Amino acid sequence: MSARILDGVRIANEIRSEVSAEAKNLTAAGVRPGLAVVLVGHNPASEIYIRGKVKACEEVGLYSEQHTLAEASTTLEVLNLINDLNRRDEIDGILVQLPLPGQVDSKKVLMAVDPAKDVDGFHPVNVGLLSTQRPGLVPCTPAGVMEILKRSHIPVAGQEAVVVGRSDIVGKPAAMLLINANSTVTVCHSKTHDLPAVCRRADILVAAIGRAGMITRDFVKPGATVIDVGMNKVTDPVEFQRLFAGNSKREENFRSKGSTLVGDVHPEVAEIAGALTPVPGGVGPLTIAMLMYNTVKAARLNRARWSVVSGQ
């Protein structure tokens, strides 16, 4: 048996196409959705992510602008920029690229973003809205996980789901979304007793632990759907062999690049799972697609809010 591979690129393209159509409709009605991306310093990985986000905005017809502050910026300087963006009507979404330099108080900065413009869905107001099933902005990666399940016609209601990882960015919101979709959910972490046995109960297993190839076949019930949220760079040849021994294509690529990307799920899981997201090409493309979706959603919610305020 070999797992059905869930194509995140195809699903992300579907969502981008839908977002583009809605952005066009909003723009025709006089509201062009706008995203502001804030970068502090010159972290090369962050710069690559931001370029991808700005390019995606252009492709779906959103307005975007990038604000880059100096590496030595203070918390107050970042807060001043956030407050300025909060006040601007043409900016519907604000994304603060993490990590921020050590001297900047990340929690203060994220709390300062207007919840109505918090396209990352990290603000406690949006966390509360998600918890109580009210309209709000949902974190992009967990929202993407749910889109993969829905658009791949994988049943969620009544299923047993296990989420490995309890981060505020992925694990907790993914668990909340699965609960809202009527799954029975277990959240696992470093203190979970007999983790493989708990994971083997899952009809849907979401791996978001941040450890390369940690989820092996012993963790997976035959036929289960496995969603791999991890994105880990492997440079150690011994670790590479543990994960990809005998995979000549990967070996050639590793020799030429000196590294390879792998998720939290060991490749051998493909032999036992019923469905599996690949890395790369699984959850990753959905994260940016859902950011575009959230920006348009924020524009729509903000327009509704302005209509109520102005009495239209």
Q: What CATH number corresponds to the domain at position 205?
A: 3.40.50.720
pLDDT (0 to 100) of residue 46: 82
In the chain, how many domains are there?
2
Q: What is the mean pLDDT of each run of 10 residues along the chain (312 residues)?
A: 92 97 93 95 84 91 95 97 96 94 95 97 96 94 98 98 96 98 96 96 97 96 97 91 90 90 95 96 95 96 61 49
Query: Is residue 187 within 8 Å of residue 197, measured between CB atoms?
Result: no
Examine the domain organization and report whether 99 and 168 are in the same domain.
no
pLDDT (0 to 100) of residue 312: 47
Examine the domain organization and report whether 171 and 276 are in the same domain.
yes
Examine the domain organization and report whether 152 and 109 are in the same domain.
no
In a domain, 69, yes or no: yes
Examine the domain organization and report whether 183 and 265 are in the same domain.
yes
Examine the domain organization and report whether 255 and 205 are in the same domain.
yes
Q: Is 185 helix (H, G, I), strand (E, B) or coil?
A: strand
pLDDT (0 to 100) of residue 71: 95
The yes-or-no answer on residue 7 being catalytic is no
In a domain, 91, yes or no: yes
Of the candidates 92, 120, 203, 228, the residue annotated as catalytic is 120
In a domain, 209, yes or no: yes
pLDDT (0 to 100) of residue 278: 95
The yes-or-no answer on residue 191 being catalytic is no
The yes-or-no answer on residue 103 being catalytic is no
Of the candidates 97, 159, 172, 264, the residue annotated as catalytic is 97
Question: Under 8 Å CB-to-CB from 238, ≥6 apart: which residues?
Answer: none
Query: Which residues span the domain enclosing 108?
Result: 30-115
Question: Under 8 Å CB-to-CB from 97, ≥6 apart: which residues?
Answer: 37, 38, 39, 40, 43, 46, 49, 50
In a domain, 128, yes or no: no
Q: Quote the pTM value.
A: 0.92
pLDDT (0 to 100) of residue 15: 97
In a domain, 18, yes or no: no
In a domain, 100, yes or no: yes
